[in-house]
Amino acid sequence: MAFISSGYDPENPMQDRITDIGPRNYEEFYPPVIKNNKGKWLYHEILQPGVLVHVSETGDEVYTVRVGGARLMSVSLIREICELADKYCGGYVRWTTRNNVEFMVDSKDKVQPLIDDLQSRKFPGGSYKFPVGGTGAGITNIVHTQGWIHCHTPATDASGPVKGVMDEVFEDFQNMRLPAHVRISLACCLNMCGAVHCSDIAILGYHRKPPMVDHEYIDKMCELPLAIASCPTAAIKPKKVEIEGKTVNSVEVNNSRCMYCGNCYTMCPCLPLADKEGDGIVLMVGGKVSNRISAPKFSKVAVAFIPNEPPRWPKTSETIKKIVEAYAADANKYERLGDWAERIGWERFFEKCDLEFTHHLIDDFRDPAYYTWRQTTQFKF
């Protein structure tokens, strides 16, 4: 493994340096049918799950075949996508905002051979490489974060639970039987790199133990005032501690004030909080980002805690399946999960989904909490 230079000279970093050039221009990457019809599209139709046609005022049509994929993707698999795009799509391909891959062709006769090829490709373990689906009133790909494969603060894994849940709801990836689309998202800690807080179903990793303090090293490795200031509930204060006869500067955590957000750990590695028994999953439901019919809304906590169950997180998957089935059976056409819960009332939601209501689900975090308490005599028995 000999080092091969790119041409960069570490002694002379500014030599020939190119910076601030930004991304490549999108126009280089439009397939001709897109380039020719941009801004001219009249309407679209989903011909079957995973297959869309868009019709332009020029008379042109573009057929899109959408396939699901793991967000974690190797260069070999991307090269296989390229091979397919070269064979069927003139050398162009795109990704959606939810980690799906879209293959586009400019006439209907090119669609079926492409679908057949995509559906025939499987990994040695038996899973599909390119399952066609993810459109309309079904469940599309889960957007998610890194989890245990690459992050320092996760309270759960990301790719594992996503695989477990998508296997469980796979039929709804390839079908469109639901009242409206159901968006599932996963964030492996409260930081929510995945911004899951407005999803129909949000899977959230959550710690439940306050941080430990590594007294011996904290003053050497961290800026104590930054760690103290980082706490949103002011649960951390300075403290002098005796270590082997020496007094060192450290901090003390007021455990009852801690909401386990991990913000202190992000500022200071001497305050770790991950824990096998403490960490697990919160399920939130009923959020949306679309302005359609009702305003965008936040997801609400429906299940306060499910333990981490690697490798497949069965309890998480089963609970999600249960919620989806109750929604599918009871909601009106076009009604999103959160709109359904509001229409029938949350007391009915917990009944129909067969979920236990516990004190953890009543908001007690600052002012907004009050607005979520029932302030009317209108309720259902």
Partner 1 sequence: MAKHETPLLDQLESGPWPSFVSDMKLEAESRAKNVNNVEFQIPQDVIEDLMGVLELSYKDAETHWKHGGIVGVFGYGGGVIGRYCDQPEKFPGVAHFHTMRVNQPSGHFYSTDFLRQLCDLWEFRGSGLTNMHGATGDIIFLGTTTPQLEEIFYEMTHKLNQDLGGSGSNLRTPSDCIGAARCEYACYDTQDLCTYLTQEYQDELHRPAFPYKFKFKFDGCPNCCVASIARADMSFIGTWKDDIRVDQDAVKGYVNGEFPPNGGSHSGRDWGPFDIQKEVIDLCPTQCMKYENSKLEINNKECTRCMHCINVMPRALRPGKQTGCSILVGAKAPILDGAQMGSLLLPFVEVNKENDYQEVKDVIESIWDWWMEEGKNRERLGELMKRQGFQKLLEVTGVDPIPQHVSEPRHNPYIFWKEEEVQGGWERDINEFRKHHQR
Q: What residues numbered 355-374 form the site for partner 1, per CB under 8 A?
A: 365-366, 368
- Which residues, 25 to 54, sit near partner 1 by CB under 8 A? 25-26, 28-31, 34, 38-39, 41-49, 52, 54
H or E, element range at 56: strand 51-56
Among residues 86, 116, 223, 347, which is the contact residue for partner 1, using CB under 8 A?
Answer: 86
DSSP code per residue over 100-150? -EEEEESSGGGHHHHHHHHHH-B-TTS-BSS-B---SSSB-PPB---GGGT
CB 311 within 8 A of CB 343: no
Q: Which is nearer to partner 1, 312 or 322 (CB)?
A: 312
Among residues 32, 82, 240, 362, which is the contact residue for partner 1, using CB under 8 A?
Answer: 82
- Which residues, 318 to 337, sit near partner 1 by CB under 8 A? 333-334
Task: Mark 126-145 with x for binding to partner 1 (rule: CB under 8 A) and - for no binding.
Answer: xxxxxx---xxxx----xxx
- Total residues at interface with partner 1 (CB under 8 A): 145
Residue 300 binds partner 1 (CB under 8 A): no
Residue 305 binds partner 1 (CB under 8 A): no
Residue 195 binds partner 1 (CB under 8 A): yes
- Which residues, 213 to 242, sit near partner 1 by CB under 8 A? 229-230, 232
Among residues 22, 244, 376, 381, which is the contact residue for partner 1, using CB under 8 A?
Answer: 22
Q: Which is nearer to partner 1, 92 or 357 (CB)?
A: 92
Give the span between the Cα atoms of 130 and 176, in whole angstroms: 18
- Which residues, 271 to 290, sit near partner 1 by CB under 8 A? 274-276, 279, 287, 289-290
Residue 210 binds partner 1 (CB under 8 A): no
Among residues 36, 60, 61, 72, which is the contact residue for partner 1, using CB under 8 A?
Answer: 72
Neighbouring CB atoms inside 10 A of 18's CB total 5
Instruction: Name every residue whose Cβ is closer than 8 Å to that of residue 235 and which is 6 or more positions away in sequence.
Output: 210, 253, 254, 255, 257, 258
Q: Sort strands 184-187 and 201-206 into parallel, antiparallel or unpaired.
A: parallel
Residue 258 binds partner 1 (CB under 8 A): no
Shortest gap between Cβ of 381 and partner 1 (angstroms)? 28
Shortest gap between Cβ of 24 and partner 1 (angstroms)? 5
Phi, psi (deg, nearest 5) at residue 251: -135, 165
Q: Which is nearer to partner 1, 323 or 331 (CB)?
A: 331
Shortest gap between Cβ of 139 and partner 1 (angstroms)? 11
Among residues 60, 106, 117, 151, which is the contact residue for partner 1, using CB under 8 A?
Answer: 151
Tokens of 340: 């359904």
H or E, element range at 215: helix 215-221
Give the span between the Cα atoms of 272 and 214, in whole angstroms: 8
Tokens of 227: 């760690």
Instruction: Give 250's strand partners.
Output: 239
- The burial class, CB within 10 Å (0-12 / 13-18 / 19+), for 266 is middle
Tokens of 217: 């090293």
Q: Which is nearer to partner 1, 178 or 303 (CB)?
A: 178
Q: Which is nearer to partner 1, 26 or 381 (CB)?
A: 26
